[in-house]
Chains A and B, each alone.
Chain A
Amino acid sequence: MGSRSAEGEQVPLTDEYDALISTTDVELLKRAWRNEKAAPEILRFESDLIIRVREQIELMEETVEEKSTVGTDPLSVSLYQMDLDRTLFLLRSYLRIRIQKIEKYMFHIRKTEELWNRLSKDEKFFTERCTDDLKKHLEESVLSTLPENYQSYERQSVISEEVDMVPEPRLDTFVLCRSKEYLTGIQLEDGPVDDRSKLFEMEPDVLYFICYKSIKPLVESGKIDLL
């Protein structure tokens, strides 16, 4: 990675190096992982990125295997191995956080089209199985023992006008975030009603502690990173 930037002309090395580093797939994965970790709701599955990362992991595994059979010195093999382990951890942790979010809000995700469309094919299948299993569990343990009009897992009773028993993530929690560029016109969704009409602006590279709901669209479009 470093060698490529050195080949170029005499541009400030560190800038170019930073720019290059920040667009490697591992770095992108780290960003996706951080966002997913900090966001209260499930974000869009980074399918293309994950495919590329998986390919790279395979390559790295081949390299490690090759080097260790050839008998390269053990220190450099273990450095390659460590790099591989870190990438693998990021991938696993990214997928795990998503799966655990699905476990927590499965009913809500399954019935909300916007969230449902953010899942990967495997995640959709998992969510379907999970919701079926938990629904069955609730029905067998509780709902079937109740009088007829109260057996829904989503509604308190037949006279409930809407779904009123499905846990949802709290979008009004506060998150730490940072923007790369100057952003303006952010409508705050919390605080006293009088203040809400004021628009909020964000300086680049400054940390803000802000209500997730207010910046939700900017997180989804990738303009703001969560920490």
Chain B
Amino acid sequence: MSCSGGCHLMCSPVKILNMYGRKACQLVKEFASGEKGQLTPFNNDLFEQVVSECSQHHLELQSLIRKMQEEGLDVQTARNADHYGALIHLFSIVRNKRCLTAYVYNRAETVRNLLWKIGPVLPKEIEEKLNHWEEEYFKKHSAALKSYMSKALVDLTVDMVPPKDPYIQVRVLEDIREGIVLSDDKNPNFARHSMHFLKRTDAEKYISRGLMEELTG
């Protein structure tokens, strides 16, 4: 944002950029303006800046409180300039914290949804967008879901849409050579571009990994 008109007498543009909480707001906006369900790379740089802003606020808050104590004021009840100054630092920390947490929390939600949409193995181009902690979290959450499904004896990752017909027509997009498991124990040749008539539940896992596509119409 830039200052226009006579406003430059009161505040220079640089001051505005340093306004408390601005960076945290940018961080949240960055997430909110992204396409829903899609991740952008974790903005480490901006994130760290907000974190260090918090430490700075904390130092200033403490020094104001110390100053009040040295002046012999009761920190709980005194209502002088320093008290309000301290409040501004406190609110800034809390606001920054909310933004930081919202950023991580909402990304975590998107990360969990990847598990439903893509499955436990992420393609490289998506994995690159997660930071180290998010990768860990994805693995752990995926293990938790797997453990639930094995206890509850159901696979919740198939059957995402209501079945119309138990069989569907599919085209193989990439050669699938290994790990073919079908419920009728047959061993078909899933060569690239070949077409098959498969049970929907069998085909879904290949479709979600982008190895097959459903032919409709």
Q: How many residues of A contact B (CB 8 A)?
A: 41
Task: Please pick, from A89, A143, A146, A150, the residue contacting B162 in the complex, using a CB distance under 8 A.
Answer: A89
The smallest beta-carbon distance between A27 and chain B, in angstroms, is: 16
Check if A145 is an interface residue, CB within 8 A of chain B. yes
In the complex, the answer to whether A150 meets B97 with C-beta atoms within 8 Å is: yes
Check if B41 is an interface residue, CB within 8 A of chain A. no
Known: A89-B163, A92-B158. A147 touches B58 (CB 8 A): yes
Contacts of A82-115 to chain B: CB distance below 8 A? 82, 85-86, 88-89, 91-93, 95-96, 99-100, 103-104
In the complex, the answer to whether A137 meets B163 with C-beta atoms within 8 Å is: no
Task: Please pick, from A85, A147, A156, A167, the residue contacting B166 in the complex, using a CB distance under 8 A.
Answer: A85
Residues of A within 8 A of B158 (CB): 92
In the complex, the answer to whether B152 meets A95 with C-beta atoms within 8 Å is: yes
Closest to B93 in A: A150
Interface SS majority for chain B: helix
Task: Please pick, from A89, A103, A147, A153, the residue contacting B159 in the complex, using a CB distance under 8 A.
Answer: A89
Complex interface: stretch among B101-109, B170-178, B207-215 = B101-109
Task: Please pick, from B97, B156, B200, the residue contacting A146 in the complex, using a CB distance under 8 A.
Answer: B97
In the complex, the answer to whether B148 meets A133 with C-beta atoms within 8 Å is: no
Check if B55 is an interface residue, CB within 8 A of chain A. yes
In the complex, the answer to whether A126 meets B145 with C-beta atoms within 8 Å is: yes
Contacts of A40-83 to chain B: CB distance below 8 A? 54, 78, 81-82
Chain B window 69-107, contacts with chain A (Cβ cutoff 8 Å), 1 for yes, 0 for no: 000000000000000000000100110011011001100
Contacts of A121-160 to chain B: CB distance below 8 A? 122-123, 125-126, 129-130, 133-134, 137-138, 140-143, 145-147, 150, 153, 156-157
Closest to A97 in B: B156
In the complex, the answer to whether B133 meets A150 with C-beta atoms within 8 Å is: no
Task: Please pick, from B90, B133, B151, the residue contacting A157 in the complex, using a CB distance under 8 A.
Answer: B90
Chain B window 107-138, contacts with chain A (Cβ cutoff 8 Å), 1 for yes, 0 for no: 01100100010000000000000010110110
Known: A86-B163, A91-B154. A133 touches B144 (CB 8 A): yes
Task: Please pick, from A88, A89, A99, the residue contacting B145 in the complex, using a CB distance under 8 A.
Answer: A99
CA gap between A150 and B145 in the complex, in Å:
30
CA gap between A1 and B26 in the complex, in Å:
61
In the complex, the answer to whether A126 meets B159 with C-beta atoms within 8 Å is: no
Check if A165 is an interface residue, CB within 8 A of chain B. yes
Residues of B within 8 A of A137 (CB): 104, 108, 133-134, 136-137, 140
Closest to A50 in B: B152
Task: Please pick, from B51, B93, B133, B166, the residue contacting A82 in the complex, using a CB distance under 8 A.
Answer: B166
The smallest beta-carbon distance between B41 and chain A, in angstroms, is: 15
Given contacts A123-B148, A125-B151, A137-B136, 15 further A-B contacts (CB under 8 A): A85-B163, A85-B166, A88-B159, A92-B154, A92-B155, A93-B159, A95-B152, A99-B145, A103-B112, A120-B152, A122-B148, A137-B108, A138-B101, A142-B100, A150-B97
Mark A residues whose CB is within 8 Å of B: 54, 78, 81-82, 85-86, 88-89, 91-93, 95-96, 99-100, 103-104, 120, 122-123, 125-126, 129-130, 133-134, 137-138, 140-143, 145-147, 150, 153, 156-157, 165, 167
